[in-house]
């Protein structure tokens, strides 16, 4: 029991207080057959110096984007994070803060969340946003449930161009709630409009789309929204926030609910998390949003203050009335998003988006010139694109790794029909020399 944080005397006091003679007696209800018989192989304790060196050796086994040039995207994106982001996050009042239940002592945290909500509204063109969600996938699932609640319908249309893992989360959330999910095929890397129109009827609560979609393509959101609204359904859009520096806002395109993954602003790759999601909607649906909404008000002395305005979660209201059980708001990740985007400003965001667009198109054009390789889909794309190749995608990626380059995502993992396709992502972190080195490396593979 060397790793139990109670002393022997404390353990005896606890056992005496609860009327149990020994630890064995305390666990008597656990059958012997399921107990671990062997001792845990836990090494002796280390000094601080030894521990730092040991953890350094473990960390060195990871391959990071500091050492390798990465062209992986698919929902987790490498962007440059200015030093001011982490410097401000280091303030202890931010990184030690918990859920702001008491507004009178949580004004800083509440204001930070309020500013995050404001930025999300400005980005998306929506009227209201809540405190941050767990991630983009769960935010999309919550939006789908919102649309079912708002329309009193139990069917959603989900294009196959939505991130495959987002679709898995949708199934996890919606099917137990009795919501029918109908997948819509794609054509040329975008939603098949004819198949979508054929599937739309007055039983559909919402059409869900992602734009830029999983393949990086820009969907015809305005046209899809008009089709959904004609049948009394809603348009739910999942977006990449960086792309909104150039593209029309979802609000301008007719979206009713907008979600997305906030990781591209201020949050490093972190080997897959933690991340944060965002959710915004038109005013008429605000009271159906899950989680919390921070609002601005005035105190009795007329000074501006911040409070939790709406809390439609089961810890605060009756379970059957709750929109969802969201227990956290990813506030520190949301603060990183807020600091980074505030520092960029409108011009900075536009320039960041422009760099992503131009560099990705340069990379796609150069790779497309290589023998046996071509751009798989024709149409507008942002910073991701699909390459069709006559060479095995696995062989390409293994060869690139030898040059310390992490290649594209093998799409056969999610789309068996795309077994000779790779999804590449190019962001502002890549120089022309980086992209040329990728192209040269791919050109050597036979």
Structure tokens given for 346: 């409108």
Residues 120 and 268 in one domain: yes
Residue 24 burial (C-beta neighbours within 10 Å; 0-12, 13-18, 19+)? exposed
Say if 425 falls within a structural domain: yes
Cα angle for residues 128, 129, 135 (degrees, 5° grid): 160
Residue 374 lies in a domain: yes
Q: Which of 295, 326, 341 is the last residue of a domain?
A: 341
Which token pair is 82?
Answer: 């200015």
Is 209 found in the same domain as 135?
yes
Q: Which of 341, 369, 390 is the last residue of a domain?
A: 341
How many structural domains does the chain have?
A: 3
Are both 151 and 248 inside the same structural domain?
A: yes
Expressed as residue numbers, the domain containing 408 is: 69-81+347-443
Is residue 63 in some structural domain? no
DSSP 342: H
Q: 226 — phi, psi (to 5°)?
A: -65, -40
What is the 3 state secondary structure string of 377-403?
CCCCECCEEEEEECCCHHHHHHHHHCC
Shared domain check, 128 and 16: no
**205 and 222 share one domain:** yes
**Domain membership flag for residue 93:** yes
What is the tens place of the pLDDT at every residue in 343-381? 999 999 999 999 999 999 999 999 999 999 999 999 999
Do 287 and 386 lie in a common domain?
no
Beta strand pairing call for 186-187 and 373-375? unpaired
Going by C-alpha positions, the residue among 201, 199, 144, 151 that lies closest to residue 177 is 144
Instruction: Report how far Cα 338 is from the mean position of its chain's Cα atoms.
Output: 15
What's the rounded Cα separation, in Å, for the pair 279 and 126? 10
Do the domain assignments include residue 1?
no
Residues 45 and 382: beta-carbon distance below 8 Å:
no
Average pLDDT, the chain: 93
3-state helix, strand, coil in the chain (%, to 5): 45, 15, 40
CB distance 239 to 124 below 8 Å: yes
234 assigned to some structural domain: yes
Beta strand 409-410 with 304-311: parallel, antiparallel or unpaired? unpaired
In a domain, 53, yes or no: no
Q: Are residues 200 and 299 in the same domain?
A: yes
Q: What CA–CA distance (Å, rounded) separates 345 from 356?
A: 17
| Domain match, 263 and 391 both | no
| Pairing label, strands 409-410, 421-425 | antiparallel
Q: For residues 179 and 291, state if they share a domain.
A: yes
* Claim to verify: residue 295 and residue 438 sit in the same structural domain: no
pLDDT beneath 50: ranges in the chain? none
Q: Are residues 172 and 209 in the same domain?
A: yes
pLDDT on residue 97? 74
Task: Note whether residue 23 is domain-resident.
Answer: yes
Say whether both 335 and 395 belong to one domain. Answer: no
| CATH number (domain holding residue 149) | 3.40.640.10
10 Å CB burial of residue 443 (0-12, 13-18, 19+) is middle
pLDDT at position 103 is 79
Minimal CA–CA distance to 76: which of 86, 65, 60?
65
Pairwise CA distance, residues 257 & 206, whole Å: 10
Where a domain ends, among 341, 361, 378? 341
Helix (H, G, I), strand (E, B) or coil at 95: helix
Contacts of residue 374, Cβ cutoff 8 Å, sequence gap at least 6 = 368, 387, 388
Residue 306 has which token pair? 């911040």
Question: Distance between CA atoms of 234 and 228, rounded to whole angstroms?
Answer: 6
């Amino acid at each position: 029991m060397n790793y139990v944080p109670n002393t022997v005397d404390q353990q005896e006091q606890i056992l005496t207080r609860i009327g149990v003679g020994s630890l064995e007696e305390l666990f008597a209800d656990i059958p012997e057959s399921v107990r671990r018989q062997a001792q845990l192989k836990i090494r002796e304790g280390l000094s601080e110096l030894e521990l730092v060196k040991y953890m350094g050796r473990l960390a060195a086994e990871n391959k990071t984007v500091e050492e390798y040039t990465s062209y992986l995207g698919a929902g987790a994106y490498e962007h440059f994070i200015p030093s001011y982001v982490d410097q401000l996050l280091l303030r202890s009042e931010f990184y030690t803060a918990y859920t702001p239940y008491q507004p009178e002592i949580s004004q800083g945290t509440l204001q930070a969340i309020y500013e995050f909500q404001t930025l999300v509204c400005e980005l998306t063109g929506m009227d209201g946003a809540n405190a941050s969600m767990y991630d983009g996938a769960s935010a999309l699932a919550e939006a789908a449930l919102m649309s079912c609640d708002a329309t009193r319908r139990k069917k959603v249309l989900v294009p196959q161009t939505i991130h495959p893992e987002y679709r898995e989360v949708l199934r996890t959330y919606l099917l137990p709630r009795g919501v029918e999910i109908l997948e819509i095929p794609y054509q040329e890397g975008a939603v098949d409009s004819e198949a979508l129109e054929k599937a739309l009827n007055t039983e559909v609560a919402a059409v869900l789309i992602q734009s830029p979609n999983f393949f990086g393509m820009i969907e015809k959101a305005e046209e899809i929204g008009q089709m959904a609204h004609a049948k009394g359904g809603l348009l739910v859009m999942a977006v990449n926030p960086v792309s909104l520096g150039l593209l029309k806002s979802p609000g301008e395109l007719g979206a009713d609910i907008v979600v997305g993954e906030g990781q591209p602003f201020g949050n490093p790759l972190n080997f897959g998390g933690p991340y944060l999601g965002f959710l915004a909607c038109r005013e008429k649906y605000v009271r159906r949003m899950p989680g919390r909404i921070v609002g601005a008000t005035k105190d009795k002395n007329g000074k501006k203050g911040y409070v939790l305005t709406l809390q439609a979660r089961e810890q605060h209201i009756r379970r059957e009335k709750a929109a969802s059980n969201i227990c956290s708001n990813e506030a520190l990740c949301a603060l990183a998003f807020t600091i980074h985007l505030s520092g960029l400003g409108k011009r900075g965001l536009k320039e960041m988006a422009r760099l992503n667009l131009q560099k990705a198109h340069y990379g796609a054009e150069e790779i497309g010139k290589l023998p046996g390789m071509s751009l798989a889909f024709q149409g507008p794309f942002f910073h991701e694109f699909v390459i069709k190749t006559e060479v095995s995608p696995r062989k390409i990626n293994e060869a690139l790794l030898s040059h310390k380059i992490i290649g594209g995502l093998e799409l056969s993992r999610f789309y068996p029909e795309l077994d000779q396709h790779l999804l590449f992502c190019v962001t502002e972190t890549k120089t022309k020399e980086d992209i040329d080195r990728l192209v040269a490396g791919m050109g050597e593979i036979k």
